[in-house]
């Protein structure tokens, strides 16, 4: 038993309706804000980096809740970069590199599914993001979509096992990637208004009684 894994009490504790809804709902809201003004799928590459960064941060700190403050940092970085018309990937990659060094210095070798596995996942996601921003918009968007789809499966696994990050964070990521998924694999140009409307309709369908 480690601080990176949930105990049986956490797994079986009843959850209110609100606690089951807000993480995914927040993820969809962040997805909506992300797709507004999106020119092509390569612009979502920072989200790929951030998705690995929050897991890596929790693994280095050794606490599941640490993923949420890490997400807050990535959100600030991406928002500031978007307002300044800059690529947030560079800053996020630098943060990831710092965390990798800190994890090595602290010798976070156990549990294996903690820092070692999350560090490897971070390297893979960083490589995919770098590839995506260097190629064509269509190909780059497909690389980003594949990376987010893979990380959605990663989220589901960690949600089921209760490892590394809090379940609410895993649910948030699933909502985020669910909202982003179809937006950046479009082969035809789509306006910001059309993207927002598509996401709104999708949300209503998913949450219909």
Query: What's the chain's average pLDDT?
Result: 81
Confidence of residue 189 (pLDDT cuts 50, 70, 90): very low
**pTM score above 0.75:** yes
| Residue 48 near residue 151 (C-beta atoms within 8 A) | yes
Q: Which of 3-7, 28-32, 47-51 has the highest mean pLDDT?
A: 47-51
Tell me what pLDDT residue 138 has: 86
pLDDT in tens, 117-171: 999 999 999 999 999 999 988 888 889 988 988 998 999 999 999 999 999 999 9
């Amino acid at each position: 038993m480690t601080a990176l894994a949930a105990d049986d009490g956490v797994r079986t504790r009843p959850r209110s309706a609100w606690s089951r809804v807000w993480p995914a709902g927040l993820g969809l809201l962040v997805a909506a804000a992300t797709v507004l003004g999106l020119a092509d799928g390569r612009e979502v590459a920072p989200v790929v980096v951030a998705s690995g960064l929050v897991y890596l941060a929790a693994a280095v700190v050794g606490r599941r809740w640490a993923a949420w403050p890490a997400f807050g940092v990535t959100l600030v970085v991406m928002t500031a970069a978007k307002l300044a018309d800059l690529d947030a990937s560079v800053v996020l990659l630098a943060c990831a590199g710092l965390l990798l060094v800190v994890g090595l210095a602290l010798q976070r070798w156990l549990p294996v599914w903690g820092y070692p596995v999350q560090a490897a996942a971070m390297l893979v996601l960083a490589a995919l993001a770098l590839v995506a921003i260097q190629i064509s918009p269509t190909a780059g968007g497909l690389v980003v979509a594949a990376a987010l789809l893979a990380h959605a499966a990663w989220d589901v696994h960690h949600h089921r096992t209760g490892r590394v990050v809090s379940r609410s964070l895993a649910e948030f990521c699933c909502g985020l990637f669910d909202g982003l998924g179809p937006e950046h694999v479009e082969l035809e140009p789509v306006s910001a208004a059309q993207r927002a409307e598509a996401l709104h309709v999708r949300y209503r369908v998913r949450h219909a009684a």
